[in-house]
Chains A and B, each alone.
Chain A
Amino acid sequence: MESLVTNLLNGLSWGMLLFLISVGLTTVFGVLGVLNFAHGSFFMLGAYLCMQMMHVMPSFWVGILVGPAAVALLGVVIEVFLLRRVYGRDVSFQLLLTFAILLVLDDAVRLIWGPGYHVVDAPAVLAGSVPLFSHSYPVYRLFLVVVGPLIGLGLWSFFHYTRWGKIIRAAAVDREMAEGIGIRVPLLFTAVFAFGTWLAALGGALAAPHQSLAPSMGDKIIIESFIVVVIGGMGSFPGAFAGALLLGLLESFGTVFAGRAQMALPYILLALILLLRPRGFFGKEI
């Protein structure tokens, strides 16, 4: 029972972080049609910039406000000066361009903050742990489990009830039609890319007290969020949520029933989904 609850909470808290970065990835893919390899690097930058901000002003909340906003600005620059030039091209070129951006960003982080680990302390309110059965459980992870669905709910309301949210969904369904009814698509693309970047960076900032910061932290999460986005359905919001939870739980419970083979489970899941239901749980027909 105890290990069950611990695994469940671990899986959920990791799943929530995965959700935050996957939802940005899937929205960008849905609207722009670009699968962004550099998305994990934005996640990492969010964490590092949050840390950097905390050196200036030692408050986690300031860090989480400023860090992701700064990364979103970088997203604007990247979309306007680089991505915009390859929209008409083959998908593989878009993938390669974002991969090149990944190389630059990852190495830039290594250059600026060094190859070693960094630790970010959780804010005082969320530090420490609470008793859970005979052991204790870190409060910060519980915070993630709670805040994840809240952000998810906020995003869902944004997409369904606000004008901008509806515009984004319209553009994802039919780009040409959206342009035809007067939506300024280039501006929308920039905004959506910045928004996706901001979400990834927010996930990174939230992950900062949860894991140690290293220049490789983006590499691991980008592959996992690719898996989430594919199994949930590319471009699908509920898909990102379901996929992230499933993958988070699979990783925490995987060690229990699969032992050492746990590491291969996400890839087996990816392969199975692509073979049996290539559009994913909630994706559009392909």
Chain B
Amino acid sequence: MKSKLPLSLLPLLFLIAAPFCLPTYWTFILSEILIMALFAMSFNLLFGYSGLLSFGQAGFFGVGAYSAALLLRHGGDSLWLLLPAGIASAALAAVVIGFLCVRRDEIYFAMITLGFGMMLFSIAHNWTELTGGSDGLPLAAIPPLRLPGLELSLFDPRNMYFFILAVVALGIFFLWRLVRSPFGLILTAVRENKERLAFVGADVRLVRLAAFTIAGGLAGLAGTLFCLFNSMATPDFMHWSYSAKPVLMTVLGGAGNFFGPAFGAAVFFLLEQLITSVTDNWMIFLGAILIPVVIFFPRGILGTLAGYYRERREKKQP
């Protein structure tokens, strides 16, 4: 455990140093990777830890984004209001929708979450007066980050980056503590054998609902960040093809590994950068990469690497 700590701090050091060493363009890319990493990790609380494949997480991501855009439009101009509001509105949507969804399993759960996600999408798309319809809601201004004795403009990409990094790191730290808490263990037990868990007295639905709400709230936080980063909330954020993103990232990185989804998000964006510089048709490559990952490396890239590393170490010390 002792030797593990510095190793896991390396990526964090890299993320802190990156904006000073890399061109501004990469600051934008890294900001987006961070937001998507939080989104994918919140999804993995459901998929990897509870065994629930949700195909509607973009709905909550979008609720977070729209809550920020709407609040800003109607006079709320403090980040200390926008962030909690984004979490709360998405968690509220998740608790209502989750109440209905968590009774179903596997493919039925995937379908019902897909349905509810698209329901949210159609609200954003068609309730033009409130949401601006398919054009979305642009942000007129991004409120500055007000700290005691300090006011930082988020129009500066570097400030925006560090703001995102701090919020995402807090979100990930929360998830880290959560999956290692007794609640996290119960969650894993739900995935492994929900009948047995029910026999020993746990309320399976309640545990799942709690996970669904937390995942929804964190997806909303990611959505709020993305809305600020993007200066815009659009219905596309809620479409099922957007819900597929955290799913793909998680599978790429590995659902069984805590940092797998974040790693997957990084791989996803780096590949996208690499491939779109050559051709517009990057989805065909993504698909072509995913097929062998699903068939041969179901533990994902990071999961497979970690497993390989562990095996080698165990061989050395029999």
A and B: real partners? Answer: yes
Q: Which residues of A contact B104 (CB under 8 A)?
A: 274, 278
Asked if A106 is an interface residue, CB under 8 A from chain B, the answer is: yes
**When the two chains form the complex, which single residue of B53, B107, B286, B295 contacts A82, counting CB atoms closer than 8 Å?**
B295
A101 B107 Cβ-Cβ under 8 A: no
Given A93-B298, A97-B294: A271 in contact with B100 (beta carbons within 8 A): yes
- Residue interface bits A219-245, CB-to-B below 8 A is 1, else 0: 100010011001000100000000000
Q: Which residues of A contact B142 (CB under 8 A)?
A: none
B281 A226 Cβ-Cβ under 8 A: no
- Residue interface bits B85-117, CB-to-A below 8 A is 1, else 0: 000000000000000100110111011101110
**When the two chains form the complex, which single residue of A96, A97, A100, A271 contacts B119, counting CB atoms closer than 8 Å?**
A271
Given A91-B106, A96-B247, A101-B287: A267 in contact with B116 (beta carbons within 8 A): yes
**When the two chains form the complex, which single residue of A85, A102, A230, A275 contacts B287, counting CB atoms closer than 8 Å?**
A102
- Residue interface bits B173-214, CB-to-A below 8 A is 1, else 0: 000000000000000000000000000000000000000000
Minimum distance in angstroms from A35 CB to a CB of chain B: 6
Given A107-B281, A107-B284, A271-B119: A100 in contact with B294 (beta carbons within 8 A): yes
Q: Which residues of B contact A110 (CB under 8 A)?
A: 281
Asked if A177 is an interface residue, CB under 8 A from chain B, the answer is: no
Complex Cα distance, B108 from A234, in Å, reads: 10
Q: Which residues of B contact A219 (CB under 8 A)?
A: 241
Asked if A270 is an interface residue, CB under 8 A from chain B, the answer is: yes
B290 A103 Cβ-Cβ under 8 A: yes
Closest A residue by C-beta to B118: A267
B53 A95 Cβ-Cβ under 8 A: yes
Minimum distance in angstroms from B209 CB to a CB of chain A: 15
Closest B residue by C-beta to A83: B295
Minimum distance in angstroms from A97 CB to a CB of chain B: 5
Q: Which of B15-23, B121-129, B159-167, B301-309 contacts A (4 or more CB under 8 A)?
A: B121-129
Asked if A146 is an interface residue, CB under 8 A from chain B, the answer is: no
A226 B295 Cβ-Cβ under 8 A: no
A223 B114 Cβ-Cβ under 8 A: yes
Asked if B288 is an interface residue, CB under 8 A from chain A, the answer is: yes
Asked if A99 is an interface residue, CB under 8 A from chain B, the answer is: yes
Minimum distance in angstroms from A22 CB to a CB of chain B: 13
Given A100-B291, A107-B281: A267 in contact with B251 (beta carbons within 8 A): no
Complex Cα distance, B281 from A104, in Å, reads: 9
Given A86-B295, A89-B298, A92-B47: A104 in contact with B115 (beta carbons within 8 A): no
B287 A270 Cβ-Cβ under 8 A: no
Asked if A77 is an interface residue, CB under 8 A from chain B, the answer is: no
B295 A104 Cβ-Cβ under 8 A: no
Closest B residue by C-beta to A29: B107
Contacting residues of chain A (234-286) with chain B, CB-CB under 8 angstroms: 234, 260-261, 263-264, 267-268, 270-271, 274-275, 278, 286
Asked if A111 is an interface residue, CB under 8 A from chain B, the answer is: yes
Q: Which residues of A contact B122 (CB under 8 A)?
A: 261, 263-264, 267
Contacting residues of chain A (84-134) with chain B, CB-CB under 8 angstroms: 85-86, 89, 91-93, 95-97, 99-108, 110-111
A97 B291 Cβ-Cβ under 8 A: yes
Closest A residue by C-beta to B293: A100
Complex Cα distance, B103 from A274, in Å, reads: 10
A100 B287 Cβ-Cβ under 8 A: yes
Minimum distance in angstroms from B137 CB to a CB of chain A: 18
Closest A residue by C-beta to B295: A85
Complex Cα distance, B241 from A35, in Å, reads: 17
B111 A264 Cβ-Cβ under 8 A: no
Asked if B29 is an interface residue, CB under 8 A from chain A, the answer is: no
Given A93-B294, A264-B122, A264-B123: A275 in contact with B110 (beta carbons within 8 A): no
Contacting residues of chain B (239-262) with chain A, CB-CB under 8 angstroms: 240-241, 244, 247-248, 251
Complex Cα distance, B117 from A226, in Å, reads: 14
Complex Cα distance, B123 from A267, in Å, reads: 11
Closest A residue by C-beta to B296: A85
B283 A35 Cβ-Cβ under 8 A: no
Closest B residue by C-beta to A100: B290
Contacting residues of chain A (161-199) with chain B, CB-CB under 8 angstroms: none
Q: List 30 A-B contacts (CB under 8 A).
A: A35-B107, A86-B294, A91-B107, A92-B53, A93-B298, A95-B53, A96-B247, A96-B294, A99-B244, A99-B247, A99-B290, A100-B286, A100-B294, A104-B288, A107-B287, A108-B284, A110-B281, A223-B114, A223-B118, A226-B111, A261-B126, A264-B119, A264-B126, A267-B118, A267-B122, A271-B112, A274-B111, A274-B115, A278-B104, A286-B108
Chain A: residues with CB nearer than 8 A to chain B?
35, 82, 85-86, 89, 91-93, 95-97, 99-108, 110-111, 219, 223, 226-227, 230, 234, 260-261, 263-264, 267-268, 270-271, 274-275, 278, 286
The 10 closest A-B pairs by CB, nearest first: A103-B287, A104-B287, A107-B284, A100-B290, A270-B115, A263-B122, A107-B283, A264-B122, A267-B119, A92-B53
Given contacts A35-B107, A260-B127, A264-B123, 15 further A-B contacts (CB under 8 A): A93-B298, A99-B290, A101-B287, A103-B290, A106-B283, A107-B282, A107-B287, A111-B284, A223-B118, A227-B115, A230-B111, A267-B116, A271-B115, A274-B104, A274-B108
